[in-house]
Structure 1
Amino acid sequence: MSKSQPSLRWRLVSRLSFLQAIFLSLLAVLIVVALWATGSFISLQPEDETIDAISQSVGRDQTGALVLKETPALAARRGNLPGLWFVARDRGGNTIRDGSVPPAYAVIGGALDGIGQARFGSNLGGSVVPAARLQWVSSPAGEVQVLTGVDGSVSTIRILGAMGIVFFSALLPLLIVTAVATVIAAPLVVRRAFSSLDSAVARAGQIDINRQGTRLPVEDVPREILPLVEAINEALSRLDEGYERQKRLFSHLAHEWRTPVAILQARLDSLPAGPLKERLFEDTVRLATLAEQFLDLQRLNHRFEPVPVNLVEVAQQVVSELAPLAIAANYEPCFNRDEEVVEVLGDRLAIERAVTNLVQNAIQHGGRSGRITVHVGRASGITVTDEGSGIPQEEQARIFEPFHRLPGHGKGFGLGLNLVQEIARLHGGGVCVLDGPTGGAAFRLSFPAVG
């Protein structure tokens, strides 16, 4: 799987987290607006801005008396509130009045020096007293008491600032906690939802040509993905059926092939000796070998119960059976062993076919001269050596591929060495090609030692 391929799992996690972040942000904005509109959490009063503008305009002259400076903020408030009035006084009783101060508030400040802030107003008894706000605030002249009306509006900057305070002090921590929970919880939820797919992927990794009947599990698979899993299982069923038909046909053809080959060999035996008979005999042996190799391919699909096999007996039997063919091809067959018994665990028939293929390969490609030596040793396994031209270095990595033939060696079918490799793998061993001591090829078939 390429790392550049998009991850569905993390795509779901990221999109889920993104959508949740959007919804949480919208919810936070709605909460702030609702709290501000109802006054349940934050209350912005228009006179707050008026009091701030007044307090920053109050100063003192050289004698220490309070004076009023016309600042831009105060001028702006005058423009917004044509009827603006206020009274500002300090702790010493110094007072500044501006605008038309309602009579009810003309002397109220001195009586409320101990009050930090208060709101006033009444319409009881037919006497209307306009609403007012009193508050002690800091100013360039020090702490002053400001009393003013409550008319006016709250600026957008002040509203945004208040909302920012609420957002960063209360809602942002909530959003951070929720985001962290989303980052942790979303992958867990998605991973749990994908657990059934992980099981299907693991089962898919077990599909092999030698394991017919393997199917992907459908238990707990999400409904949206179930049709895909079922389609794959149906495809696997069709492949298994086709493979079984091929195996039956393959086996039938290989068996049927033996009959005409046996008839040819019987008729060849009745011919007088000569070069033509020898060539026909070799061609017939090649056909018989091909039939056996097809049967070997069929046998490799069946598992076997390992039993002790004496490699010395197997190799000696193969040399004895193929000696007439080797001698007819102008070779001298030789057999060497280090010990009388070299045992491995495996299938005797399969090992015998592997050694047979190695010897037949040496007969076909050994140059039709010299010796073909089969050596058995506990450490080295079975080694078949000829005295031909050997295997070119650039071809040694490919000669075990099915149907691969060396350039200029067109008589073989390219199956023998591949079968040897497969048989060695089934037994937990291997096969390799080496340079023979006289320049020919040496094929070494090794098996795990019996401990």
Structure 2
Amino acid sequence: MTIQKIIRLGGRFFRPISLKWRLVWRLVILQVILLTLLIAMILGALIVTGVIPDNYEGRAVDVLRKVVRRDDAGELVLKSTPRLTELREEVPDLWFVLRDEQGHSLKEGTIPPEFTRMAAALDHIDNAKLVWKKGSTLPAATVMWYDTSAGKIQIFTGAQGRFKVSALLDVTPEIIMEIILPIGGVMAVATLLVIPLVVRSAFRGLRQAAALAEKIDIDERGMRLPVERIPSEIAPLVRAVNGALDRLDKGYERHKRFLIDAAHELRTPVAILNTRITSLPATPERARLLQDTARLSTLTDQLLDIQRLGRQKQQFTRFDLVAVARGVVVDLAPMAFAAGYEMSFEPARGELFANGDRTAVERAITNLVQNAIEHGGNAGRITIGVNSPATIEVSDEGDGVPAAEREKIFEPFYRLRPRGHGAGLGLNLVHEIMQIHGGRIELAGSDRKGACFRLVFAQA
């Protein structure tokens, strides 16, 4: 497991099935079946051609050379054993001639006349197989010298038996060792080594398509998976995925245009409404209405900022983080004082530069300070710090962010307080801005009082 993931399905865990190894193991099973059929065909051919019954010669020679002995007078005798008894039962017309180099001999059975005087003429032959001309009904015979417990003995026999399972079992190990295992070994090596390489090569296009699919993102639209080197069985799936990506891109463009048009359309009536409310007499109701129109104005600005960030890649410039943060503090200090806060600006250096979109970074710092004013409990101090390397911190002394909410606050339209004045886009906008700048936003540990958000920029 090309390395592997575990999928949870229906309360149980399953490992994804590798198509490559599924094919390999199916081929292995097929080869086992083919080898079994091959064994059956070989044994059947041996039985039909009479090779297996003829192997009684080999069995007779093997039994005889193990049971031959010499008596006290030096004559050749046979030791009675179960195998010898079994051989005599299986081969009713068993015959053989045993001779040594001193002229001692031992015979049994009816020796065909054609072979009666032949053994003596084969003294200088180490081994021979005697087969008559084609069409002859005369039996074949075997002559061979062996080293036995009785010395060097020539065994001359032509055992012809009837087919029995025991004869088949005798030759089966030889067939397996000399034929099946070599062939099976070659096939197994081909299956386990060659086939995976072939399958891997065939799926190379699919792996390339998967690598491209991993790069598809909402900010990298327009990418499509290649179909050229994809196996024909999988090509319809790839085309379907490309079709789905087309539809998603079109839907995203419609959604984006709607948000941009809606934000633009809202700005004018909100500005008019704010002007009319400002002209009203100063009353508590007028103050609440101004807060509501400010919220609407902030929401439209945030929507436009998000869409502006997503429409095109920003042309970054080098700017001073200290200057940008100081400008935000000057702009929002009156609002913080009116809400009951003290405000502190603590730069670690006089200048600290970063690369990026100055306007977008200013908007990110502004959203964090407004978030502190909204959720800081209307008491205590709001601190804006600029530290090395290229880090901005905005902290308050409020209740902080509950542990259960820390992973959710950067989601769009998520509000820590459902009845609060915010729209739930501020922290999400900050998160998007930092991603575009190759940085990140962090929420400091929960062991401190209040909330502390940290903007970490890439080195300039």
Task: Give TM class, smaller chain.
Answer: 0.7 to 0.9
Cα distance in 2, alignment partners of residues 397 and 119 from structure 1: 89
The answer to whether the 8 Å contact 2:52/2:163 transfers is no
The answer to whether the 8 A contact 2:390-2:458 is kept is no
**Any conservation in 2 of the 1:337–1:376 contact (CA below 8 Å)?**
yes
The residue number in structure 1 matching 2:22 is: 11
Residue 444 of structure 1 aligns to a residue whose secondary structure is strand
Of 202, 212, 217, which residue of structure 1 is paired with 2:221?
Answer: 212
1:150-185 alpha-carbon deviations (Å, 9 max, x no partner) = 544465434443342244135523432342233211
Q: Could you tell me which runs of 5 or more consecutive residues in structure 1 were left unpaired when the two chains were aligned.
A: none
What residue number does 1:423 align with? Answer: 433
* Amino acid across the alignment from 1:290: L
SS at match of 1:300: helix
Query: 298, 305, 308: which is aligned to 1:289?
Result: 298
- The one-letter code matched in structure 2 to 1:406 is L
Query: For residues 256-291 of structure 1, what are the alpha-carbon distances to aligned partners after superposition, in whole Å with 9 as ceiling and x for unaligned?
Result: 111121011101221122333222222211111111
How far apart are 1:227 and its partner, in Å?
A: 0.7
Distance 2:232 2:388 in 1: 59
Where does residue 6 of structure 2 map in the other structure?
A: 2
What is the CA RMSD across the aligned residues, in angstroms?
Answer: 4.0
| Structure 2 gap segments, 5+ residues each | 8-14
- 1:196 equivalent in alignment to 2:205: yes
Counterpart of 1:261 in structure 2: which amino acid? V
Which position in structure 1 is the counterpart of 2:244? 235
Q: For 2:408 and 2:266, how far apart are their aligned partners in 1? A: 29
Any conservation in 2 of the 1:311–1:341 contact (CA below 8 Å)? yes
State how many pairs are aligned: 444
In the alignment, is residue 363 of structure 1 matched against residue 373 of structure 2?
Answer: yes
Q: Which residue of 1 aligns with 2:453?
A: 443
| C-alpha separation in 2, matches of 1:416 and 1:197 | 41
**1:258 corresponds to 2:262:** no
The residue correspondences of 1:109-188 to structure 2 (distance < 5 A) are 109-110=119-120, 112-116=122-126, 136=145, 141-145=150-154, 151-153=160-162, 156-188=165-197
What is the CA deviation profile of residues 371-397 of structure 1, one whole-angstrom value per residue up to 9, with x for unaligned ones?
545444555644444454544566555
- In 2, the alpha carbon distance for the partners of 1:342 and 1:49 equals 98
Deviations 1:87-130 (A, max 9, x none): 5554444445555566666666555544455677999xxxx998
| Stretch of structure 1 that moved more, 277-286 or 320-329 | 320-329
Are the aligned partners of 2:24 and 2:191 in contact in 1 as well (CA < 8 Å)? Answer: no
Deviation, structure 1 residue 254: 1.1
Q: How many angstroms apart in 2 are the aligned matches of 1:368 and 1:55?
A: 111
Distance 2:158 2:454 in 1: 108
Distance 1:416-1:305 versus aligned 2 partners, 3 A rule: same
- Does the CA-based 8 Å contact 2:95-2:159 persist in structure 1? no
Relative distance call for 1:269 and 1:184 in structure 2 (3 A) is same
Q: Cα 1:376–1:249, aligned 2, differ >3 Å: closer, same or farther? A: same
Matched to 2:196, the amino acid is: P
Task: Tell me which amino acid in the other structure corresponds to 1:219.
Answer: E
* Contact map agreement 1:46 1:154 (CA 8 A) in 2: no
Q: Which is further off, 130-139 or 205-214?
A: 130-139
TM-score, normalised relative to structure 2: 0.80
Q: What's the counterpart of residue 249 of structure 1?
A: 258
* Structure 1 residues 19-418: aligned runs within 5 Å: 19-24=30-35, 26-27=37-38, 30=41, 44-50=54-60, 59-67=69-77, 76=86, 79=89, 87-96=97-106, 98=108, 109-110=119-120, 112-116=122-126, 136=145, 141-145=150-154, 151-153=160-162, 156-302=165-311, 303-331=313-341, 335=345, 337=347, 341-369=351-379, 372-377=382-387, 379=389, 381-392=391-402, 395-407=405-417, 410-418=420-428
Secondary structure of 1:184's counterpart equals: helix
Tell me if structure 2 keeps the 8 A contact 1:49–1:154: no
Larger radius of gyration: 1
Contact 2:93 2:159 in 1 (8 A): no
Q: Supply the distance in 2 between the matched residues of 1:168 and 1:59 (Cα, whole angstroms).
A: 32
Contact 1:365 1:409 (C-alpha < 8 Å) held by counterparts: no
CA distance in 1, matches of 2:374, 2:120: 127
362-371 vs 416-425, which deviates more?
362-371
Q: CA 1:382–1:171 in structure 2 vs 1: closer, same or farther (change >3 Å)?
A: closer
Kindly indicate whether the alpha-carbon contact (under 8 Å) linking 2:91 and 2:159 is maintained by their aligned counterparts in 1.
Answer: no
Q: Once the 2 structures are TM-superposed, how far is the Cα of residue 356 of structure 1 from its aligned partner?
A: 1.9
Distance 1:179 1:200, change over 3 A: same
1:123-149 per-position Cα deviation (integer Å, ceiling 9, x unaligned): 9xxxx9987665555666544455556
Check 1:64–1:404 CA distance in 2 against 1; reply closer, same or farther (3 A cut): same
